[in-house]
Homo-oligomer: A and B are copies of this chain.
Amino acid sequence: MSHATLFKFSLLLFVIACTTPLHAQTAGKIVHDSEYYILEAQNGKVWELENGELDMKLAELRQKFGTPPNIIHYMWDDQPPMSFGDPIYQKMRGYDTPNLNQLAKDGMILARMCTEPGCTPSRAAMMTGQLAIRTGHYEIGFPVEYTGLAAENVTLAEVLSKVGYATGFYGKLHLGDIEESYPHNQGYDEAFWGVYNQIVSLYNNQGEAANAIIGMKEELLAKNPYQRDRNFIQDESFVFYLEGTKGEDAKEWRDGSQEIQDYRDFDGECRERALAFIRSNAEAKKPFMVSWWPFMFSFIPEPQKTTLQRGMVGEDYNRVVERDIEQLRQTLEELGIAENTLIIAMADNGPMTHHPPPGAGLGEGLFRGGKGDFLEGGVRVCAAALWPGMIQPGQVAGDMIHETDLFTTFARLAGATEHVPTDRIIDGIDQTALLLKGDTHGRRDYNFIYQGPDLAATVKDQYKIHWTSDDPGQAKSGLTAVYDLYNDHREINAMVVGAFHMKEPFKRMRARHELWKQKYPDREHRHGPAYTGISNARPATLSLSKPPADLKSLPFDPLEFIEYLDDLPFDAASEPGPGQ
Chain A residues proximal to chain B, CB less than 8 Å: 81-82, 85-89, 91-95, 109, 111-112, 308-311, 314, 358-361, 363-366, 380, 396-398, 462, 484, 486-490, 492-493, 498
Contact = CB atoms under 8 A, between A and B. Distances in A.
B82 A487 contact: no
Nearest to A488: B363
A89 B86 CA distance: 9
Given A310-B486, A311-B486, A486-B310, A492 B91 contact: no
Nearest to A396: B87
Contacts of A85: 88
A108 to B, nearest CB: 11
Contacts of A109: 88
A111 B86 contact: no
A308 to B, nearest CB: 7
Given A85-B88, A398-B91, A363 B487 contact: yes
B91 A361 contact: no
A363 B484 CA distance: 11
A111 B94 contact: no
Q: Nearest 4 A-B pairs (CB), nearest first?
A: A94-B486, A91-B398, A91-B111, A361-B487
Contacts of A93: 486, 489
Given A86-B86, A358-B498, A498-B358, A490 B364 contact: yes
Contacts of A462: 94, 308, 310
A373 to B, nearest CB: 14
A102 to B, nearest CB: 14
Nearest to A384: B88
A350 to B, nearest CB: 13
Contacts of A308: 398, 462, 486
Contacts of A493: 363
Nearest to A313: B487
B91 A397 contact: yes
Nearest to A85: B88
Given A486-B309, A486-B311, A487-B360, A366 B89 contact: yes
A359 B396 contact: no
Contacts of A486: 93-95, 308-311, 314, 361
10 contacts: A88-B396, A91-B397, A94-B462, A309-B487, A310-B487, A358-B498, A363-B488, A363-B489, A364-B490, A364-B492
Contacts of A358: 498
Nearest to A308: B486
Nearest to A483: B363
A440 to B, nearest CB: 10
A363 B88 contact: no
B89 A112 contact: no
B94 A89 contact: no
Contacts of A86: 82, 86, 88-89
B91 A396 contact: yes
Contacts of A380: 92
Contacts of A309: 486-487
Contact of A363 (B310, B361, B492): B492
A389 to B, nearest CB: 22
Contacts of A81: 88, 92
B490 A363 contact: yes
Given A92-B398, A365-B366, A359 B487 contact: yes
A154 to B, nearest CB: 33
Nearest to A395: B87
A85 B86 CA distance: 10
Contacts of A397: 91
A355 to B, nearest CB: 9
A175 to B, nearest CB: 30
A434 to B, nearest CB: 13
Contacts of A492: 363-364
Given A311-B486, A358-B498, A361-B486, A112 B91 contact: yes
Contacts of A490: 363-364
A380 B498 CA distance: 30
Contacts of A88: 81-82, 85-86, 89, 109, 111, 396
Nearest to A497: B358
Contacts of A484: 359
A420 to B, nearest CB: 30
A488 B94 CA distance: 11
A525 to B, nearest CB: 34
A13 to B, nearest CB: 36
Contacts of A89: 82, 86, 88-89, 366
Contacts of A359: 484, 487, 498
Contacts of A487: 94, 309-311, 359-361, 363
A352 to B, nearest CB: 12
A176 B498 CA distance: 36
A382 to B, nearest CB: 9
A153 B553 CA distance: 90
Contact of A366 (B92, B112, B360): B92
Nearest to A367: B92
